[in-house]
Amino acid sequence: MCLTAFGQSKDRSIPSTKLSIEAQKNITITGNIKQFAKNEGLADQYAFQYIDLITGKDVIIPISKDSMGNYSVTFPVNGYQEIQLTQGVKSGDDIRFGLYFTGRFFAKPGDVMDFDFKRLEDYTSKQTFKGNMANANNQQDEYYNSLREAQGSTDLFSFDSLDSLKPGGYIQFKQSLTAQLKKVLDFNAKYFSALNADPFLKAQSDLESKYFVASHLLMALLKTKEKDPNLLQFLDSIGAPLNNQKAFGNFRYKSFLNSYYQFLERETFASGKEVTILFTDLARYLLKEHIEFSEDEKALCRKILDTVNKASEADRQYFINTYSTRFDQEYLMTFKTKATFDQIASNKNRFVKDVFLTRFLRERLDKNQLVNINSLISNYKSIVSDNPVKKLFLKDYQLAYDRLYKSKLSAKSVLNDAKKLPPDALVKTILEKYKGKVVYLDVWATWCVPCLSEMANSKKLRNQFIDKDVIFLYLCISSPTESTWQNLIAGHNIEGEHYFLNNAQSAELGREFNISFIPRYLIIDKEGKVANAEGPSSAKTVAEIGALLLK
């Protein structure tokens, strides 16, 4: 196994620029939204959306309208936000937001803000603002129209397409963007001075242009695979620094931060020497990270590491066949996670450390990858400066840690021994135990985030059929450790019948039911007939189980 690693800088004497996030306060938006244009692909449902500065994720706030189109929503934010209005897109029986946008506007916490929107029959839109931020928002469309007219283009910037960039073209691209930025900023100065327009809109319009350039420079570097060691200094010089508290709510600024974060992640393995990972590395890792191993399992790992009384060939082969197969991907993910963490931590910008290290670890926490980040928490605590975001992450981490490693297994969670079950008759053998009952089968894995996300809905489904002849059966496939399996069952309170399948059993299950993705759900009637089923949150699932109980 080979991976690429980065050498790390140990320079920690960096001027501190603390992350300063305002305390959360509510934004209240009221108004009226009416849809006159008909489009079969769009629903007459809307939501507000903005990017969270720390996580980089979209926050969706659904809008509930009455029959006349009136609405009122209140939600907490850290300071002002540039918010998008998004219209629902039909996707089967679901409505998805974040795919179709109608424009952006600014909102500040505190005063009530009025926002009216109309989608007219000719598909044009009309929006008006009253109250807080009304001046800036009402002037925004006029500003953009004037800028486009002055540019002679529908684009804010005229430059060669990123698609046409080739290696060696970055410098010219950068010069072109810089020249165009100067023109736009000169236009802004004259435009806002002549109209005596809202100064907040002037400041945000300048930021929009600067961070537009910043984002496209990052994309150009990725495209051309060139290097720009002075990029951050250049961005400082044009007024687009990484840490810009005046831009914390600006959409383009947060888009730039997302791009820079992705840029750092991709650069982690872009160069450097290859490192061969030996079986001794894996054994050392297992001893450190899997403290739940039995004494026999730990003893085998120590044999692999013993340079005096070396492991026998039989022991080595058993270790390869058993542990390498089960843990190689986990180990590789942990190795890569640490390399990326160290790469971000080596950055000399304090803001990058505070924001991006928190974001990086939270992403892994959200994916239930505690085993990959447990060893990094101590470094995180010492590297990242104290701030409310850090405290919130550590609190959430501790809750997840306690749930995974310290939760007690419910008496209604039955762990069945699957080791002796024949792979070629696996499901048939299991179902013999539950003959005469309706079975709802959930195929999942310990590393599958969507699988675990559905467990709360699975609990709600179980609660609807308490004391009924329904068996909730959970088959865990392609997962490395039974201890993690047991911990997750306890932590998520997954009550029901459980089986932990080995690799051969998992493969046979996949072939028998053509399982190419998980979670996967099946429903079995009292006679043992198997059929595909929808997820536990589906009303159709409830109806199907209810109908089978009546037969």
pLDDT at 12: 34
| Residues paired with 491 in a beta bridge | none
The per-residue pLDDT for range 270-281, each reduced to its tens digit, is 545 555 667 888
CB 49 within 8 A of CB 62: no
Sole residue written with tokens 């009637």? 525
Residue 207, classified by CB atoms within 10 Å of its CB into exposed (0-12), middle (13-18) or buried (19+), is buried
Tens digits of pLDDT across the chain (551 residues)? 222 222 233 333 334 456 677 777 889 999 999 988 777 788 889 999 999 988 899 999 999 999 999 999 999 888 899 999 999 998 877 888 988 888 889 998 887 889 999 988 887 888 899 988 888 888 888 888 888 787 765 455 544 567 788 888 899 889 988 988 998 899 999 988 888 778 899 999 999 999 999 999 998 888 888 889 899 899 999 999 998 989 999 999 999 999 999 888 877 655 455 556 678 888 888 888 777 677 888 888 899 998 888 888 888 888 887 777 778 778 888 888 888 899 899 888 888 889 999 999 999 998 888 888 998 999 999 999 988 889 999 999 999 999 888 889 999 999 999 988 888 888 889 999 998 999 999 999 988 888 998 999 999 999 999 989 999 999 999 888 888 899 899 999 999 999 999 888 998 899 999 888 899 999 999 999 999 999 999 999 999 999 999 98
3-state secondary structure 503-519: HHHHHHHHHHHCCCCCC
pLDDT tens-digit map of 518-539:
999 999 999 999 999 999 999 9
Look up the pTM and report it: 0.75
CB-CB contact of 458 with 495 (8 Å): no
- Give the model's pLDDT for residue 18: 60
Distance CA 243, CA 349 (A): 9
Kindly provide the residue ranges of all beta strands, DSSP E only, lying in 436-540, ordered along the sequence: 438-444, 470-476, 496-500, 520-524, 530-532
C-alpha to C-alpha distance for 318 and 303, rounded to whole angstroms: 12
CA distance 91 to 75: 26
Query: What Rg do the C-alpha atoms of the chain give, in angstroms?
Result: 28
Contact 369, 377 (CB under 8 A): no
DSSP assignment of 69-84: SEEEEEEEESS-EEEE
Give the closest residue to 279 by CA, choosing from 239, 319, 219: 319
Could you say which DSSP state residue 412 is in?
A: T
List strand residue ranges (DSSP E) for 145-234, in order.
Answer: none
Hey, how many other C-beta atoms are within 10 angstroms of the C-beta on 327? 20
Angle subtended at Cα 528 by Cα 520 and Cα 454, rounded to the nearest 5 degrees: 25
In the prediction, which pLDDT does 1 show? 26
- Helix %, strand %, coil % for the chain, to 5? 50, 20, 30
